[in-house]
């Protein structure tokens, strides 16, 4: 259901998308295990983080949510929930690997989210916003369900990479270039910025009026 750019293999793209959904699901499932939710709660949180971003995107476009109708995605988040439920210690020992996969998921989802918005005829600003919402919507809902102010709104460089990746495909599309290379470029920029953000501990700035009690944030 996700539009396929020229020069792309459909099956490869589906597998990449499922891998991204799975790693998003892990982030939800692990957060649920840490918050001591029960098995049902772990499965719900995995589904929320894996699917809610794409569902919100589709509702804002005004079409029935596509990933919900495709059992592959439901299977991916179900598996992520079970892996989280039984594998927390093993996953936390491999935390850098999980973060690496999550950055891959972020990169894929922001690019496919923006492409889908463009395919439905939405404007460039909307496409970039929907690319970002696809990537971060699930994590925001995860934090709300676990009664936390969403991390992505407070710290960390998580949304900016998604905006950058979505912007590359959107600008290319507006310039008439729909070749898959721009999708790869957008995903690569998102992935690289995200890893740089983790490595350097980068964050977005606080408002000037809130910076009094601490060294400037930027």
> Which is closer to a copy of itself, CB of 12 or CB of 217?
217
Q: Shortest approach of a copy of itself to residue 21 CB, angstroms? A: 15
Q: Shortest approach of a copy of itself to residue 9 CB, angstroms? A: 25
> Which is closer to a copy of itself, CB of 7 or CB of 123?
123
> Which is closer to a copy of itself, CB of 37 or CB of 103?
37
Q: Shortest approach of a copy of itself to residue 73 CB, angstroms? A: 10
User: What is the DSSP track for 151-200?
Assistant: HHHHSSSSHHHHHHHHHHHHHHHHTT--BHHHHHHHHHHHHHHHHHHHHH
Q: Shortest approach of a copy of itself to residue 37 CB, angstroms? A: 5
Strand-pair partners of 179 = 6
CB 109 within 8 A of CB 135: yes
Which positions touch a copy of itself (CB under 8 A)? 32-33, 35-42, 44-45, 55, 59-65, 68-69, 71, 74, 84-86, 88-89, 122-123, 125-126, 129, 140, 144-150, 152-155, 159-160, 203-210, 217
Q: How far is CA 50 from CA 62, 178, 211, in A?
A: 20, 27, 35
Q: Shortest approach of a copy of itself to residue 61 CB, angstroms? A: 7
> Which is closer to a copy of itself, CB of 99 or CB of 151?
151
**How many CB atoms are located within 10 Å of the residue 172 CB?**
19
> Which is closer to a copy of itself, CB of 52 or CB of 183?
52
Dist CA 178 CA 172 (whole Å): 7
What sign has the CA pseudo-torsion 40, 159, 105, 12?
Answer: positive
């Amino acid at each position: 259901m996700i539009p396929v750019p020229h020069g792309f293999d459909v099956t490869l793209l589906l597998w990449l998308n499922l891998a991204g959904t799975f790693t998003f699901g892990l982030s939800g499932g692990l957060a649920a295990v840490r918050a001591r939710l029960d098995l049902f709660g772990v499965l719900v949180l995995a589904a929320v983080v894996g699917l809610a971003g794409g569902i919100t995107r589709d509702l804002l476009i005004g079409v029935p949510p596509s990933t919900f109708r495709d059992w592959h995605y439901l299977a991916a988040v179900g598996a992520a929930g079970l892996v989280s439920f039984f594998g927390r210690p093993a996953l936390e020992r491999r935390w850098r690997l999980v973060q690496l996969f999550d950055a891959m998921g972020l990169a894929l989802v922001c690019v496919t989210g923006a492409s889908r918005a463009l395919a439905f005829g939405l404007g460039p600003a909307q496409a970039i916003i929907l690319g970002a919402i696809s990537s971060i919507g699930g994590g925001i809902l995860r934090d709300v369900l676990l009664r936390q102010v969403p991390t992505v709104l407070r710290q960390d460089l998580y949304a900016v990479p998604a905006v950058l990746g979505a912007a590359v495909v959107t600008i290319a599309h507006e310039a008439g270039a729909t070749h898959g290379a721009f999708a790869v470029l957008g995903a690569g920029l998102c992935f690289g910025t995200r890893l740089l953000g983790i490595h350097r501990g980068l964050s977005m700035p606080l408002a000037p009026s809130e910076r009094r009690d601490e060294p400037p944030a930027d």
